[in-house]
Structure 1
Amino acid sequence: MSVSVTDPAPHTAIATDEGRRVEVVQGASPNEVSDPLMRQEFRRAVVWLGLVAAMALVVVLIQPILIIFAGLIVATILDGGVRLLGRVLPIGRGWRLLIVVLVALLFVIGTFVLTGVQITGQFAQLRSTVETQGNRAVQWLTGQGIIPQTGGVADLAKQAAGQLGRLSSYVGTALGAATTMVFILVLGLFFAMEPDIYGRGLQWMVPAEKRREFAITISRMGTTLRRLMAGRLTGMAAEGVLTWIALEIGGVPMALVLGIIAALLAFIPNIGAFVTGALMIAVGFSAGTHTGIWAAGTWALVQSFDGYIVVPIVARRTVDLPPALTLSMQILVSALFGVIGLVIADPLTAVLKVALERSSERAAQKGEEGAA
């Protein structure tokens, strides 16, 4: 076969084979990766496929991710205690962390040893009282035609729990909840031991040109979380002690347990306050009208004190989260991820707020630099 090239069109050449003209395509095929256009489209496809795969991976691993984030919250609390102790004790970080952990353990163990029998009995009594009062309320509402005939407060509770979203297998049983709590505490302890190591590890996962910005952002996130947790713990202590003392003075049954519940639920603003108020009023009215009114007044007084005195004072040194934003985030995250999502909704909102503020700040800086 003789081949000659004559007057080739773009990307083509003309060959002759036994007197016949044959058009031969020159250059890379559109299906070859060596073609610049193909490489560009291939990169775009890889990016989109990577985003889809990342989203699928997050959906599959969302519960472990939430547990890790909860561990970070525990580490933040411990780190705050270590930093606070460092102002008065010039010793190594490891020793200060050990002191903080031992003090926390002694407080929890001492509380249950001193009041364990009383708390156990009051919790059993509280469950019976709440169920009885709930059934009375359901019967009255049914009699008034406000709600349809039901099997009692237990059925309503199950329906309400179903509306909050699915519960994770990690917290579906008492054993799962205990295991999850152990994982969270252990992770928090490990994170608090050497936070700089984990911070540097995260920075290594970011491109070199983005590491400075990433380091500034996570540093601000850590500061915000420490302030938020300090405010939450202060509010929890104040609300629990005040509730216990006020209910004890008014003769409300199970004052100690209600104080503990008020302190624990104070970690979840808005929703926790409503749950605490419902329990206090139900228990109060089980002992009489006057006791119920006292319980309702106590709840209103404690919430007013917490909202108008404790929160404003603490808010000066903590993150400013609008109540509507936190409540919306709690509803959304609890519907998606269940109980764990409800607990970590506020810290998650604070972290996202810091990231968005830093991004906006960087955009403003670039705009000023461009204008200059």
Structure 2
Amino acid sequence: MDKDNDKNATAGRPRHPDIGWIARATSMVLLILGLAATLWYLRQLVFLTFAGILIAVVISHLAVKLRRHVPMPRLLSLGVVVGLIILAVTTLIMATGPQVVGQFDTLAQRLPDALKSLEDYLNSSRIGTYMLNRIEEPEQSGNWNALGLITGTFSTVMNVVANIFVVIAVALFLATNPDIYRKGAMLLVPDHMQPRTNRFLDTVSPGLFHWLIGQLVAMAVVAVLMALGLWWLGMPVYIALGVIAGLTNFIPYFGPFIGGIPAMVIAFSIEPTKAFWVALLIFLVQALEGNFITPNIQKQATSLPPALIIVTIVGFGLLFGLLGMMFATPILLVIVVAVHIFYIEGMLNKTAPPPQ
């Protein structure tokens, strides 16, 4: 009877969770938080590394396409591709460099006066004064001095040079010997997940290649259209303004409007009505780029829902600034492919077609 009572008492007691499971779960959470904190602290290096990966993907795919037409060793094809890229960039700089540099110099001289003109116009109304008062003055962030300006400029130039070096180094090393990095990464993946991981890498690489090539072509088209439109409107430094619009078009949807700000400011300093026509030109080019140019260029790239792209760009911009906005779309592409392969197919066992 006493034994039965002991069993009933034991059965009636609440079962406590396994201490070992709690320890493992806590360790996993701490590990994830530590990894997230590390990535946040090194976010600039992460974006620069991702930029190097994008360039390496482009170089590798172009080399593969070259070897399909002209049989040659892999390293030689990579060297030919890199050499052709350097030759194309050098030729473009030599052909248009002096004129473009001259226009950028003129733009740098005219922009402060144009901003002052815009500020005076805004100060003439209550709404404009309120808007200006909401903008922090540069002097509020600290005292300016010539030595600080010089050292700050030198530091900025050195940072740009260092960032470019990191991107090029990562791109060349990855493109030259990608197998060593892929095999090293696969060692960290459990055996049962390696087939899906290989499929993920094989899927995301051509997606990034087609997206980046298509984006570069769209940037060039936007730069030409903006330059021609500004020239037709009688705007000064139209080549420099077109180049800015093309470069900022790397950021989908928001880029043309960001790049159009200098053109709007210069146009407003000339005549307010000219600013209206420049704004209309920006909207027309954006509509043409978003509805005709990019959809036709990006046919082979992994398709992404426009609303998801916009939300991701805004979120990355709030979290990481301009670098986040620049790389939000290709990172989103990687995430979408990963979710499809590892979660939809791997965990939910659903056979949906891959994003395309």
Give TM-score scaled by structure 1 length.
0.76
Among candidates 35, 57, 60, match of residue 38 of structure 2: 57
Q: What does 1:7-26 align with in structure 2 at a 5 Å threshold? A: none
- The 5 Å alignment of 1:1-372 reads 37-146=18-127, 147-148=129-130, 150=132, 155=137, 173-288=156-271, 292=275, 295-358=278-341, 359-365=343-349
Which amino acid letter does the alignment assign opposite residue 77 of structure 2? R
SS of 1:268's partner is: coil
Aligned to 2:147: none
Q: Could you tell me how far apart the structure 1 residues matched to 2:336 and 2:108 are?
A: 39
Which structure has greater helix proportion? 2
Instruction: Classify the secondary structure of the residue corresponding to 2:300.
Output: coil
Deviation for aligned residue 1:191: 1.1
Please say if residues 142 and 149 of structure 1, whose CA atoms lie closer than 8 Å, have aligned partners that are also in contact: no
List structure 1 runs of 4+ shifted beyond 6 angstroms. 151-154, 156-159
The structural deviation recorded for 1:233 is: 1.2
Contact 2:257 2:282 in 1 (8 A): no
Query: Judging changes above 3 Å, is the alpha-carbon distance between structure 1 residues 54 and 130 closer, same or farther for their aligned structure 2 residues?
Result: same
Alpha-carbon spacing, 1:50–1:92, altered in 2? closer, same or farther (3 Å): same
Q: CA deviation at 1:211?
A: 0.9
Q: 1:237 to 1:174 in 2, by over 3 A?
A: same
CA contact (8 A) 1:232 1:267 kept: yes
Quickly say closer, same or farther: Cα 1:293–1:273, change in 2 above 3 A.
same
Aligned equivalents of 1:42, 1:311: Cα separation in 2: 50
CA 1:329–1:44: 2 relative to 1, 3 Å? closer
- Which residue type is aligned with residue 333 of structure 1? F
Amino acid at match of 1:271: F
Query: AA paired with 1:198?
Result: Y
Give, in angstroms, the shift of residue 347 of structure 1: 0.8
Q: Kindly state the Cα deviation for residue 323 of structure 1 after the two structures are TM-superposed.
A: 2.9
Between stretches 345-354 and 196-205, larger displacement belongs to: 196-205
Residue type matched to 1:349 in 2?
L
Alignment CA distance shift 1:367-1:118 (3 Å): closer
Deviation at 1:77, TM superposition (A): 2.3
Distance 1:46 1:93, change over 3 A: same
Q: Is the 8 A contact 2:52 2:170 kept in 1?
A: yes
Q: Which runs of 5+ in 2 are unaligned?
A: 7-16, 142-151
Secondary structure, aligned partner of 2:137: helix
1:184 shift after superposition: 0.8
Preserved contact between residue 130 and residue 283 of structure 1 (Cα < 8 Å): yes
For structure 1, the residue ranges without an aligned partner over 5 or more in a row are 1-6, 11-35, 160-168
The structural deviation recorded for 1:124 is: 2.1
**Separation in 1 of the partners of 2:18 and 2:347?**
32
Q: Deviations over 1:287-312 (max 9, x none)?
A: 55676565445433432322222112
Check the 8 A contact 2:174/2:181 in 1, yes or no.
yes
Q: 1:125 to 1:178 in 2, by over 3 A?
A: same
Q: 2:274, 2:23 → 1: CA distance?
A: 72
RMSD between aligned alpha carbons? Answer: 3.4
* Larger of the two Rg values belongs to structure: 1
CA distance in 2, matches of 1:84, 1:148: 57
State how far apart, in whole Å, the 1-side matches of 2:99 and 2:133 are: 32
Does the aligned pair in 1 maintain the 2:345–2:351 contact within 8 Å?
no
Counterpart CA distance in 1 for 2:139 and 2:333 is 31
The secondary structure found in structure 2 opposite 1:320 is coil
Q: Aligned partner of 1:55: which letter?
A: A
Query: How many residues of Structure 1 are paired with residues of Structure 2 in the alignment?
Result: 326
Alpha-carbon distance in structure 2 between the residues aligned to 1:315 and 1:367: 25
Cα contact 1:251–1:291 (8 A) shared by 2: no
Conserved 8 A contact 1:71-1:186: yes
2:298 is matched by which residue type in structure 1?
A
Distance 2:139 2:71 in 1: 52
Identity of aligned residues (%): 26
Question: Measured at CA, do residues 246 and 89 of structure 1 come closer, stay the same or move farther in structure 2, by a change above 3 Å?
Answer: farther
Match of 2:144 in 1: none
Q: Structure 1 pair 247/80, CA: closer, same or farther in 2 (3 Å)?
A: farther
Closer, same or farther: CA 242–52 of 1 in aligned 2, 3 Å: closer
